[in-house]
Amino acid sequence: MATAPAVELTTAEEFGKRPDPGYPEELVRGKIIRMTPPDRLHGYVCYVTARLLGAFVEVHDLGRVMTNDSGVITEREPDTVRGADVCFYSYERLPRGPIPRGYGSEIPELVIEVRSPSNRWRDLHDKVAEYLRAGVLAVVVLDPERTTAHVFGPDEAPVALTANQDLTLPGILPGFTVRVGRLFE
C-alpha cells in the first residue's frame, strides 16, 4: 500500500518572513490559506471600530489597538496565525516601548472580527473558539449585513446585540461604550 507524501508544514516564523503575496492569507495548522480580499464595507467597519476603540484606549492610556489583519499566533505545533481585523493589547500584555516586529507570543485581550459575505458562521465560531483557547478574553463578531454584534467570552454564553443596543466590555475596557449601529454608519 502506497503512503501519501509527508506534507511540509510552515511555522509562524517562516510564515512571517515570506514576501507579501499581494493578497490576504492566514496560517492554519501549518498550512497557508489564501483568503478573499475584504470589500469596502468590511474595511470601513474595521476603520470605524478601530478609530472609536483607539480613541478610548489612547485617552485612558490603556494599551494599543491594532488593525489590518495583525497576526496573532493562536496555536503551536502545528502553528496557526490568524489575522485579527481589530485587536486590543493592554500594556500588561504588550508593554510600553517599541513594538517588536513579527508575530509575538503576546495574546490580545480583545479581538474584533468583521463578518464578510463569504464567511460561514460555523467557520467564524471555530475561529472564535481558537482565539478564546489562546487566551483572548473577548471576541466580538460584527455582522454588517444584520448590523449586529456577537460577543463571546471564555466562560459565558454568547451575547447578540442589535443596532440599538450598546456594546460594552467592562472586564477589559471599563467605561467603553458604543451603540452597535454606530459601527456600521
Domains of the chain, first to last: 12-184 (3.90.1570.10)
How many angstroms separate the CA atoms of 183 and 185, rounded?
A: 6
pLDDT in tens, 126-173: 999 999 999 999 999 999 999 999 999 998 899 999 999 999 999 999
CA 83 to chain centre: 6
pLDDT in tens, 10-56: 999 999 999 988 888 999 999 999 998 889 999 999 999 999 999 99
Nearest Cα residue to 95 out of 83, 82, 104, 86: 104
